[in-house]
Amino acid sequence: MRALKVLFVGVEVGPFVKVGGLGEVLRSLPKAMRGRQCDVRTIVPKYASVDTATFPMRSEIQKLHVASKEEDPHGLLVTNILRHTGKDKAITYFVENMECFEKRANVYGYADDTMRWVLFSRTTIEFIRRSKWKPDCIIANDWEAGFIPNLLKTEFQDDPALSNVRTIFCIHNLRNQGMFDAAFVSELDTDSGQGPIPGLFSPEIKKLNGMRRGILYADAIVTVSPTYAQEIVKPEYGEKLDALLQDRRMDVYGILNGIDYDTFNPETDSDIAERYTYRTLASRAVNKAALQEHFGLPKSPNTMLMSYVGRLDEQKGLSLLESNNTIRSLLDNLDFQFVVAGAGEKRFKIFFKDLEAAYPGRVAAQLEYSEKLPRMIFAGSDAVLVPSRFEPSGLVQMEAMRYGAIPIVRKTGGLADTVTDFHPEKKEGTGFVFEKFDPNALLIAIVRAYESYRNKKEWRKLMHRAMNADFSWKKSARDYIALCRKIAEKRGEKGENSSG
């Protein structure tokens, strides 16, 4: 069988630059696909934060002109392609442009973000046109790369250098569609996706919906869990794109994200206080004590320690802890400790800081991003809260289970696909699952977990099942490879999904 050539496109790729889950996925999934008769490469902007001393690069292609001279008379938007080859021979390409990437301290959050991502998309296509290495399949990730399927099916549809390139558009979070809030866009300002992509300095560029365009024009659409793939074709989860997704439902696939078992491994993790396996759980107590010490909580081995790790965001269901004073009622009536780690909305930062002040020695919060702290929390926590309003895939519950921290989750998206409800009489389950997005449903799930924790024998069995669940990238990699081969076989079927 001929080796498959795949190019992953994303605006963050670990370990070079990682803001959230997308960066982790684009580090781990290509790694899992390599060596399976696949030549898998990635491309990402070269931001100021990318450490070229750690990741040395060489020039691949110089002076790609993606804007006309009239549009860019001073050549500010001319781009270059650099190449980094890792110790494992993995190849990553970097799009170099001083104005749009290297002068920026952050990945996201600029008024001209849409222009930056269109520039990145156009550069990626120009790179493929001029490169000897041409992918069979491009996997474009989230709205920022949604312009690639669009451009290939419209402006470049007759280009012989690109005629054999197929596209998969991967939706990590349907809510993020462009430089606007899709819930509040008027009909007049809605981007239908049918029109041409405007010039890089056109005021209309800010209105572009990269998510809609990716869905419209890609050969296949993937979401990051099977349940989320079923949810987004419904108005409740469709973010005003459910009708379009219904039209393309035969091309929508759900492939569950995994986690990197080399990185998330309590047996080898040098960033936790004591290494352990499911066979040596007694050693885990050292990590609980270390976690309590780190957060300034009393070292109490028998007190249940619950945690929240992740973005402080309404999507994550944190309003359930606020509503009806749910978390305060639990703290007033049950003896447990609660730690919080994450960055995000000011509203939730204030909420957790007030909670910390109201329950000293019981609640502690570290409200900033940390690369290492989550693993320390997973290794020391008894339970982890993931009460999301919606969750395309979710990594926290899988990472926590790998370390023996039991997830308390809402039954939605990837959470529904990865956590099974605890039934001690049936000797099954890996966590505590509630279905309705309601503070009382969450409260009952936490009380169930608290009561179950008191039965140490059953809790240990629960930890064994959770730690032995397989969320490695192996199966996901096989599924992505199969899908890439499937759409690569469509060569010559020009514009079958084009709406332009």
Find out whether 366 and 295 touch, Cβ atoms under 8 Å: yes
Within 10 angstroms of residue 406's Cβ, the number of other Cβ atoms is 27
Q: What is the pLDDT of residue 334?
A: 98
| CA quadruple 414, 416, 420, 422: dihedral, nearest 10 | 120
pLDDT at 69 over 50: yes
pLDDT at 189 over 80: no
CA dist., res. 80 & res. 64, Å (int): 6
pLDDT digits (tens, 9 = 90+) for 328-364: 999 999 999 999 999 899 999 999 999 999 999 999 9
Query: How distant, in Å, are the alpha carbons of 207, 330, 371 from that of 342?
Result: 31, 21, 10
In the Cβ-directed half-sphere of 304, how many Cα atoms lie within 13 Å? 22
Q: What percent of the chain has pLDDT over 70?
A: 98
Query: How distant, in Å, are the alpha carbons of 169, 283, 299, 301 from that of 290?
Result: 42, 12, 8, 11
Q: Report the CATH number of the 4-258+474-488 domain.
A: 3.40.50.2000
Identical fold, 4-258+474-488 and 281-468: yes
β-strand 58-64 against 79-85: which pairing, if any?
Answer: antiparallel
CA dist., res. 404 & res. 470, Å (int): 13
97 vs 182: which has the higher pLDDT: 97
> If DSSP states are collapsed to H, E and C, what string results for 114-133?
HHHHHHHHHHHHHHHHHCCC
| Tokens, residue 369 | 């991003």
Q: What is the pLDDT of residue 183?
A: 74
Mean pLDDT estimate for the chain: 94
Q: What is the pLDDT of residue 435?
A: 97
393 vs 491: which has the higher pLDDT: 393
Q: What is the pLDDT of residue 495?
A: 41
Q: What is the pLDDT of residue 68?
A: 84
CA dist., res. 284 & res. 381, Å (int): 10
CA dist., res. 53 & res. 467, Å (int): 37
pLDDT at 498 over 50: no
Find out whether 368 and 428 touch, Cβ atoms under 8 Å: no
Name the one residue in this structure whose structure tokens are 């179950």.
452
Average pLDDT score over residue span 394-406: 97
In the Cβ-directed half-sphere of 399, how many Cα atoms lie within 13 Å? 27
pTM: 0.91
Find out whether 102 and 13 touch, Cβ atoms under 8 Å: no
In the chain, the N- to C-terminal Cα span, in Å, equals: 35
pLDDT digits (tens, 9 = 90+) for 414-446: 999 999 999 988 989 999 999 999 999 999 999
Kindly list the domain boundaries of the chain, sorted by start residue.
Answer: 4-258+474-488, 281-468
Q: Indicate the fold that domain 281-468 takes in CATH.
A: Rossmann fold (3.40.50)
Q: Which of 121, 131, 138 is nearest to 161 (CA)?
A: 131
Q: What is the pLDDT of residue 190?
A: 87
Average pLDDT score over residue span 302-318: 95
Query: How distant, in Å, are the alpha carbons of 24, 336, 386 from that of 19?
Result: 9, 31, 19
Q: Is 146 exposed, middle or buried (0-12, 13-18, 19+ CB in 10 A)?
A: buried
Query: How distant, in Å, are the alpha carbons of 197, 244, 288, 465 from that of 274?
Result: 54, 50, 10, 21
Find out whether 261 and 237 touch, Cβ atoms under 8 Å: no
pLDDT at 410 over 90: yes
- Banded pLDDT at 187 (limits 50, 70, 90): confident
| Tokens, residue 72 | 């860019």
* Helices marked H in 248-372: 284-294, 319-322, 326-333, 346-358
pLDDT at 481 over 60: yes
- Banded pLDDT at 175 (limits 50, 70, 90): very high
Find out whether 388 and 409 touch, Cβ atoms under 8 Å: yes
Q: What is the pLDDT of residue 494?
A: 43
Question: What single-letter DSSP state applies at residue 190?
Answer: -
Find out whether 206 and 73 touch, Cβ atoms under 8 Å: no
- Banded pLDDT at 491 (limits 50, 70, 90): low
Query: How distant, in Å, are the alpha carbons of 274, 319, 321, 442 from that of 438?
Result: 37, 10, 10, 7
Average pLDDT score over residue span 146-150: 98
Find out whether 338 and 416 touch, Cβ atoms under 8 Å: no
Q: What angle do CA 239, 26, 172 make, to 5 degrees?
A: 10
pLDDT digits (tens, 9 = 90+) for 116-128: 999 999 999 999 9
Q: What is the pLDDT of residue 500?
A: 36
Average pLDDT score over residue span 245-253: 97
